[in-house]
Amino acid sequence: MSDLILRNAEERDVSALKSLTLELRGLAEIETPSFQADFQKVFSLCIDDPQCHIIVAERGAQILGYLTLWLRPCLSHAGLCALIDDLAVAEGARGQGMGRALVEKALKRAQGAGCVEIEVSTGLDNELAQSLYRSQGFQERGLLLERDIA
């Protein structure tokens, strides 16, 4: 893993991150012009927001993974909390410690910002991700409920 570089995302990374997102969601075959425009817009919003940290993992000149970390004030904790919102690793690069390296970087970034807690959610059937997070000290403490509104 010594040739792995973890760095902040830049505008030039948008295409690679979009491809990883589509792969993660299993939607690579249904990309639409609307998704392209929406992804670009949200990516730019994240890049410009000081509370959003998109960390990319690259080897050589190829981006093989990314993690999105949000920092936010939390009244119930009377401090800053962090949320890992996205974690994607290219299918061919999984099992090589890249996800672990991204999570460790996010933990350090959250600690450095003074966060008192970091949260993450993943699919109920995503045992691989659950195992990764548990190995990093995450514990099941609640229930996440979601509702589509668009």
pLDDT of residue 1: 55
Averaged pLDDT of the chain = 92
Q: Quick: pLDDT tens for 57-111.
A: 999 989 999 999 999 999 999 999 999 999 999 999 999 999 999 999 999 999 9
The tokens for 49 are 């927001």
Query: Per-residue pLDDT for 35 more than 60?
Result: yes
pLDDT of residue 30: 58
The answer to whether the CB of 75 falls within 8 A of the CB of 19 is no
Full-model pTM: 0.91
Mean pLDDT of 125-148: 92
CA dist 114 → 30, 107, 118 (Å) = 40, 11, 11
Structural domains of the chain, ranges and CATH numbers in brackets = 4-135 (3.40.630.30)
Cα dihedral angle (23, 20, 148, 143), rounded to 10 degrees? 100
CB under 8 Å to 28, separation ≥6 — which residues? 19, 22
Cα dihedral angle (142, 139, 80, 49), rounded to 10 degrees? -90
In percent, the amount of the chain with pLDDT more than 90 equals: 75
Kindly report the length of the chain. 150
Task: Tell the burial category of 33 from Cβ atoms under 10 Å away from its Cβ (0-12, 13-18, 19+).
Answer: exposed
